[in-house]
Structure 1
């Protein structure tokens, strides 16, 4: 059954993209419980499986019914386009206890028997303590599972935002949304999302947050209930190659490109299949950030790259000349 989001004139002016480390933490926890989500992440699971097994995620899983409602207070829409995890978890810790209690009870009701469990009774009796406990578990999951790979994850998510921002400028919102996911349909100001359950909401001038996610694949999340800002979370582009080893990316640069630019600069230019930051490229290529920064500066000065700021990050991407050099069409 579809969900429908109805846009008014003001909503088109309030659509934005965002990246959320808190969201990725929730979704990696969910992915560990759902084998059908793990296909693209087999390499990560082999590397992190023992570490993940050492975490007690039972309480978070209790609030992730499938299908069913997950508490919005525990993973609200992003508070900004590039908020840090520390900023986001601080907002979670500041949740109103009574609102969190009602939201949690709604989630527990979607798992048979959960409302009558000792853990649920304890939470509903003392929602303030529940907020702090679940925030602690989420924070431990972040530091253990997500933070070590966050530069790589953030680079992929920001590349998705850069790509879809360009497409938004080219084809408009109605053209972009069906491109993002086959589950999204657009007709005369109404977004239809193929999702479990039926939902209808008028955006009412709040606009829409579009949020790529690595670990949400193959699902989408269509909206948050009021008072939360409407949000669409969808699988980010490029997750198929996310965990590929660097494997001497410089070898991909052909001999002519290496002779023209030098091996280091050729490797950096070749690695920019998607826009990326200095730190992401350094991690991807196993090079010192200072070396990558020097290569990026020279490549930009030569007209092979452009740079633009996104939040606190600077994203580099190839110019048409840089693309032609890498493809051999120059």
Structure 2
């Protein structure tokens, strides 16, 4: 089941940067990216997020998973006030609004104040999210810290090497490496207890609920009924309903509807998506019935949702391709 959710955050032209800083330094991250991953490769620093006044120390080898809508501060000293703000698309400015990205460029995808390896980190940010992956993101706290003593990945060193290259197709390479790093980090976070495991994660291992959820996810377009799902699980309808509610926290059909609507939201932003095609994929024979259910779930019609999401994605891509001081 986790694979279904991890398939959501797939980088497309992700923002990847090597940051190299001499003390003193302090910067506030306000990029509003759906999710970011920060890997510390050299030195020592601290992270403080809005929801906590307790600074968290970071050392080489540590990895941070941050939900970008939660602003946070990275600094060499938790008592130091930020002097730099990293905004949407990686745009950098001082507190008085001075644009500084170009003046602090140290080469290909490298930015900072020194190239002599003081405090060094790799930053990768996803620019769009999906409704399916949002189930996963909603299960995460604002900041997840994986310690080097608890989790180690060769992908960090590989991403560090590839981040500073300027080869043909390099963005695709960086996107895929970032995907692998994020998936590995999330898997370690769930397995190691770094985050509170959500109900749907533990339900997969249940001999009754697990197979039922997999059937729903494998074939969302099938006209599932509680009776059919119960028969597949070899239990009565009452047993399935009781067990499902106990482990997942909602009835089977409510879960199925939520899954279908989340999947539909992802499908609607695909280039060739139509309301009729998406409706059929997620189990609705009538585009009208599908549109009604979609609006109930997302607060707007499928077409309006599609147009808004495409416009937002276009804005983020424009932000990334524009000069960072702009």
Q: Determine which structure has the larger helix proportion and give its number.
A: 1
The answer, yes or no, to whether TM exceeds 0.5 is no
Q: Determine which structure has the larger strand proportion and give its number.
A: 2
Q: TM-score range by the shorter chain?
A: under 0.3
The TM-score with structure 2 as length reference comes to 0.27
| Higher relative contact order (Cα pairs below 8 Å, separated by 6+ residues) | 1
